[in-house]
Structure 1
């Protein structure tokens, strides 16, 4: 199984490549692309939140506890006093940070249903719904956010499968092969059915993907990508002009240096 650094770098590499394509085609502004890249990296470490000692689970529940506490405070900010709001925030924080995390660890197993392809799809759909309903993102951009999370998630699973191949031992495949990139678990039929049910529910909460499909299938974006696969007559235009002087500048320098 790949370690945390490998998952982080793998998700960063793939997310960076996809984000670069978005910049080149003009499908999204630079500021949004940075956010997509971060979401892809986050998706790359999400599968390990089912490990009780992993870094992702500590980060996830710490961030979730803080954010949920402030959302609760913002909701009741006009109704209660400052002291009451502080009590609400602390109750929410400790409830999630210790209570919910303890329950989560108790009822999940490492490389269980969370460490599967449908779980990655579910996290992506949850991101789409949150971006659209919670942050009022445009439909196409909300779907891009969810896709980056899912892509990072799938990169994590593929890396785990790759590290399950033993190139130097007598046995080519380790016992862990096939346990990461899976569609469910026969040992957990109820949980698998429930997971697919959650995916259906999340999809119904998401906006229609048609605007995103129209954005991806736009011929103008594909044309921009095709034209920019290879540099034109000049490599690194603009940069070379500053580094390599033009004939006119050389003549000006010669005139200035002549007595």
Structure 2
């Protein structure tokens, strides 16, 4: 199977191309493109969170613990939290991911389980969509899709490395089909994965509808403000 360097190199190349294409073709803001490219590169390590103690688990969890609280700053503003509460909540999220999530992954995950699956890629994108609370819906879709793209890059590389060229043509290894899959051999991981995907999908759909509605309201208010500024102002005449 491909190693850590192959995965991070592949997802970095894909992320750079994705961000550059969105910048030059899609007219996306360069900072948003840079964020998407970086998240795509890091997402290339996410499926190997089930590989036990090692570089992918350590680096991915450390990166997520540091970045997720920063991505949720706009969410904290929407909730009306004061600065002190933002710092405390951010610290709690960091500790929960850095130590709690790391312990769960080391204790209950096994390699090439449901982390290497298409529903897991959807969960990664949905989680990013909910954490990145930008006011522009297009930016949220763009950033979350970058995470899905990096995740899928890892799975595709695993499937490519499971085919080996021999003297009489390609030879398929036993690991073929264990990355790009919809379900695994064990029922409970499949059930938990799909329930989590459905819950996060419902939350993301509701949040997307609310964000788009607020975006329309904000545009209408801006248009009304510009229209009011263009109208000739009349002095008020008070009558007794």
Q: Give the deviation of 1:37 after TM superposition.
A: 0.4
Q: How many residues align?
A: 198
How far the C-alpha of 1:204 sits from its partner, in A, is 1.8
CA deviation map 1:147-196 (0-9, x unaligned): 000011001001011000010367701111111111111x2222212211
The TM-score, its normalising length taken from structure 2, stands at 0.71
Measure the CA separation in 1 of the matches of 2:144 and 2:109: 23
The two structures have a TM-score, normalised by structure 1, of 0.66
State the distance in 1 between where 2:143 and 2:176 align: 30
Report SS of the residue matched to 2:166.
coil
Q: For residues 196-231 of structure 1, what are the alpha-carbon distances to aligned partners after superposition, in whole Å with 9 as ceiling and x for unaligned? A: 1211211222214997xxxxxxxxxxxxxxxxxxxx
| 1:92, distance to aligned residue in structure 2 (A) | 7.5
Q: Does 1:4 align with 2:20?
A: no
CA positional deviation for 1:142: 0.7
Q: Within 5 Å, give how 1:216-231 maps onto structure 2.
A: none
Which residue does the alignment assign to 1:142? 140
Gapped runs of 5+ residues in structure 1? 80-84, 212-259
Q: Deviations over 1:76-107 (max 9, x none)?
A: 9748xxxxx7xx95x88666544542232111
What is the alpha-carbon distance in structure 2 between the residues aligned to residue 166 and residue 24 of structure 1?
37
Per the alignment, residue 197 of structure 1 pairs with: 195
**Is 1:167 the counterpart of 2:165 in the alignment?**
yes
Matched-pair contact (CA < 8 Å) for 1:124–1:149: yes
Mapped to 2, the partners of 1:163 and 1:17 lie a distance apart of: 22
User: Residue 217 of structure 1 corresponds to which residue in structure 2?
Assistant: none
Q: Distance in 1 between matches of 2:198 and 2:21?
A: 30
1:54 counterpart residue number: 54
Alignment of 1:29-178 (within 5 A): 29-65=29-65, 78=84, 97-132=98-133, 136-168=134-166, 172-178=171-177
Q: Cα gap change, 1:137/1:49 in structure 2, threshold over 3 Å: closer, same or farther? A: farther
* Corresponding residue of 2:14: 14
CA RMSD, Structure 1 to Structure 2 (Å): 3.2
Deviation at 1:60, TM superposition (A): 2.8
Alignment pair present for 1:183 and 2:182: yes
The gaps in structure 2 that reach 5 residues or longer are 213-240
What is the rounded CA distance, in whole Å, between the counterparts of 1:156 and 1:209 in structure 2?
32
Change (3 A) 1:191 1:64: same
1: CA distance, partners of 2:45 / 2:140: 20
Q: CA deviation at 1:139?
A: 1.1
Q: Does 1:27 align with 2:27?
A: yes
CA distance in 2, matches of 1:7, 1:157: 9
Deviating 4+ runs (over 6 angstroms):
67-71, 74-77, 91-95
